[in-house]
A and B are shown apart, each in its own frame.
Chain A
């Protein structure tokens, strides 16, 4: 389990809240007075606020494929859109190491154009240069396996063929973080294998995949970890097998109208949740050795009185000018520290039993679980040596990202999945009969 501590995070979502104001014709939420009159005149009915996400805390690390399950309207797609950055959350923040790619190139494609023209258009839409798009063309054709259909207009494709082409175009951009919303279910068996292999390669190159799918079986097969979202909150977070199984059992009860059992299951899941918190170590203090108030030009405002309470630190971070994504890899420490930084001494703490035991397999799900209701302590590391990432670097992981190793991991995962699938043939029948 210590393995997950070492992996660098690719996505950190902290207290993400999203609310939408939408029209409703619910008689209960009708406006009163003048408001109602104006609503009548412009032909609008009442408005209501929907809380799509109610404080989601989430960390995804490199090499992880995280499944997101949940009933319709539980906020899965909203969360994915926020991670992709196409929408901004009302509260909270989302940090990413690379630009996430939502599997949504379909929006840029033109049905009247041929598949090959759309490949070029889609690649350009994802920010490739024309030369890169031309290079990626063969890869897309091979991965989508459309054959001569690639030269026909995309409007004539079947839905499965269209999904294959879209997926192949998205992977041609070589994203490090891929967000998939209800895709892959339309492809046939041959394509499923190819797409899994492509995703394994992505994961092995220290990428991250978030997969939203209703079919708990798909999550079980593909993902290393799963989260169960319910009414805009993360209800459960753990190994894909366990979470998907519980979700399936709950969904089955809801479908059968056994509300009482379903509610009991929910209550059980909530009460059994272990509080797991996480510190987000901000590198900010070290990046800007000069305190913000000292760096601020004097013309802006008179300094506030000393007794005035400082603003919340999280708010301050949001104000800072954000670096470009391309520059993310060269986040720099200052070339030289003016003065020797005092070394903070943290005592070596005993490892929790859960981390001390069991050598982790690569398919093991990390134990991370975030409790959204609890307020977390955000430590600010005063010294780079105290950061979690530097502890990880102390071990010998230098060769971890070599391409050959990456390929090997991908192969292993693929082999194992094939083996599991063959073994699953018999249990699958059993599971189906239970439905």
Chain B
């Protein structure tokens, strides 16, 4: 096909109009991204439930393990700390203290490790079809939340019926906002770590150590107020640890039935929403890179 030149000096080659066509797979504006994510909410929930049920379906007891697992853990804690060691470390109702700490921290810890590997474990889905990638870390949190619900139920029942009996006050309902705050915090954390873990794959090895440090720093096994008396600077820093805030709030509301310092509520709320915004924006900005592994 020989090229002809029109009077303007341009070659007359066939043309297509790109009108109405948009670049594919590009990061969309934040509002449309959020809208797309909201449209996939059913998928996020269905996927989390499917993953959960396919992991339990192979067992004979099926969903029963969701309740049995926490129950057996409580039994193990009681056997070791209550029966054999007989320790209380100067804490009233040490068993309850410990159980609250371990379960609530476990929820965030699982979201942390799950979020770090979310992109890698969802690699086949990312390569398979187009969806807002933030669905992956969020689905990790949703799955852990669904796992956590039976645990929470078991915990409340055990604490209510097992000795030493606690008087249940109205403050028990305060557990609900704390769980909501912690879940919001977890979403932000999972989003943040998902992009970080995608950039630096080695982070998965590092995360278990970070998680360990955080576990001890949040006062899961002991009260950090007692232990860090002679390190006032460290103690002050620990006061701003979000997990410590959530654990204290739950213990005060559920175990001891006393009011909590409003400062703890502020710390927990600021962390939850702050990390949600920072983590989500951080994840969203990397949206186009997740297809490359």
Q: Which residues of A from 44 to 72 have beta carbons under 8 Å from B?
A: 59
Q: Which residues of A contact B54 (CB under 8 A)?
A: 110-113
Pick from B16, B53, B292: contact of A279, CB below 8 A: B16
List the count of A-B residue pairs having beta carbons below 8 Å apart: 199
* B21 and A107 contacting across the interface, CB-CB below 8 Å: no
B291 part of interface (Cβ distance < 8 Å): yes
* A280 and B130 contacting across the interface, CB-CB below 8 Å: no
Interface string of A291-309 (1 = CB under 8 A from B): 0000000000000000000
Interface string of B36-53 (1 = CB under 8 A from A): 100110110011001101
* B15 and A379 contacting across the interface, CB-CB below 8 Å: yes
A283 part of interface (Cβ distance < 8 Å): yes
* B128 and A130 contacting across the interface, CB-CB below 8 Å: no
* A113 and B50 contacting across the interface, CB-CB below 8 Å: yes
Given contacts A105-B128, A112-B54, A280-B18, are A121 and B13 in contact (CB under 8 A)?
no
* B130 and A86 contacting across the interface, CB-CB below 8 Å: yes
* B39 and A328 contacting across the interface, CB-CB below 8 Å: no
A41 part of interface (Cβ distance < 8 Å): no
A193 part of interface (Cβ distance < 8 Å): no
Complex-state Cα separation, A387 to B21, whole angstroms: 14
Q: Which residues of A contact B27 (CB under 8 A)?
A: 322
* A124 and B43 contacting across the interface, CB-CB below 8 Å: yes
Complex-state Cα separation, A426 to B25, whole angstroms: 46
* B19 and A283 contacting across the interface, CB-CB below 8 Å: yes
Which stretch (B4-12, B69-77, B186-194, B264-272) binds chain A?
Answer: B4-12
Which stretch (B93-101, B119-127, B154-162) binds chain A?
Answer: B119-127
Closest Cβ of chain A to B73, distance in Å, is 25
Given contacts A87-B25, A322-B23, are A105 and B18 in contact (CB under 8 A)?
no
Given contacts A323-B22, A349-B6, are A124 and B17 in contact (CB under 8 A)?
no
A347 part of interface (Cβ distance < 8 Å): yes
B240 part of interface (Cβ distance < 8 Å): no
* A95 and B42 contacting across the interface, CB-CB below 8 Å: no
Complex-state Cα separation, A327 to B47, whole angstroms: 27
Q: Which residues of B from 102 to 132 have beta carbons under 8 Å from A?
A: 124-131
* A12 and B21 contacting across the interface, CB-CB below 8 Å: yes
B84 part of interface (Cβ distance < 8 Å): no
Q: Which B residue's beta carbon lies closest to that of A133?
A: B42
Closest Cβ of chain B to A343, distance in Å, is 14
Complex-state Cα separation, A399 to B131, whole angstroms: 34
Which stretch (A96-104, A250-258, A264-272, A412-420) binds chain B?
Answer: A96-104
Q: Which residues of B from 157 to 176 have beta carbons under 8 Å from A?
A: none
Q: Which residues of B contact A112 (CB under 8 A)?
A: 53-54, 57-58
Pick from B11, B16, B50: contact of A117, CB below 8 A: B50
Closest Cβ of chain B to A183, distance in Å, is 13
Interface string of A274-288 (1 = CB under 8 A from B): 111111111100000
B225 part of interface (Cβ distance < 8 Å): no
* A5 and B14 contacting across the interface, CB-CB below 8 Å: yes
Q: Which residues of B contact A376 (CB under 8 A)?
A: 13
Interface size range of chain B in the complex: 35 or more
Q: Which A residue's beta carbon lies closest to that of B291?
A: A87
Which stretch (A77-85, A139-147, A240-248) binds chain B?
Answer: A77-85
* B20 and A97 contacting across the interface, CB-CB below 8 Å: yes
Q: Which residues of A contact B129 (CB under 8 A)?
A: 84, 86, 101-102, 104-105, 107-108, 125-126
Q: Which B residue's beta carbon lies closest to that of A280?
A: B18
Closest Cβ of chain B to A326, distance in Å, is 8
Complex-state Cα separation, A102 to B40, whole angstroms: 18
Interface string of A111-136 (1 = CB under 8 A from B): 11100010011001111011000000
Complex-state Cα separation, A326 to B6, whole angstroms: 38
Complex-state Cα separation, A370 to B55, whole angstroms: 50
* A387 and B128 contacting across the interface, CB-CB below 8 Å: no
Given contacts A86-B128, A107-B128, A379-B10, are A328 and B53 in contact (CB under 8 A)?
no
B24 part of interface (Cβ distance < 8 Å): yes
* A86 and B1 contacting across the interface, CB-CB below 8 Å: no
Closest Cβ of chain B to A92, distance in Å, is 11
B230 part of interface (Cβ distance < 8 Å): no
Complex-state Cα separation, A88 to B27, whole angstroms: 10
Q: Which A residue's beta carbon lies closest to that of B44?
A: A124
B205 part of interface (Cβ distance < 8 Å): no
Looking at B14, B29, B39, the one whose CB has the most chain A CB atoms below 10 A away is: B14
Given contacts A86-B291, A88-B288, are A96 and B43 in contact (CB under 8 A)?
no
Given contacts A107-B124, A275-B1, are A96 and B21 in contact (CB under 8 A)?
yes
A106 part of interface (Cβ distance < 8 Å): yes
Closest Cβ of chain B to A162, distance in Å, is 14
Q: Which residues of B contact A125 (CB under 8 A)?
A: 43, 47, 125, 129, 131
- A residues touching B (Cβ–Cβ < 8 Å)? 5, 8-10, 12, 20, 59, 81-88, 93-97, 99-102, 104-108, 110-113, 117, 120-121, 124-127, 129-130, 274-283, 318, 321-329, 331, 346-347, 349-350, 352, 354, 368, 376-377, 379, 381, 387-389
Task: List 23 A-B pairs, Cβ < 8 Å.
Answer: A9-B18, A84-B129, A84-B130, A85-B130, A86-B291, A87-B291, A88-B25, A88-B289, A93-B23, A95-B23, A99-B130, A100-B24, A107-B128, A110-B50, A110-B54, A112-B54, A124-B42, A281-B15, A324-B36, A325-B22, A331-B20, A349-B12, A354-B1
| A-B pairs, 5 with minimum CB distance | A85-B25, A104-B128, A107-B128, A279-B15, A112-B54
Q: What would 14 more interface pairs be, CB under 8 Å, given A111-B54, A388-B16?
A: A5-B14, A12-B21, A87-B292, A94-B24, A97-B22, A99-B24, A107-B125, A112-B58, A113-B54, A276-B1, A281-B16, A322-B26, A323-B22, A387-B17
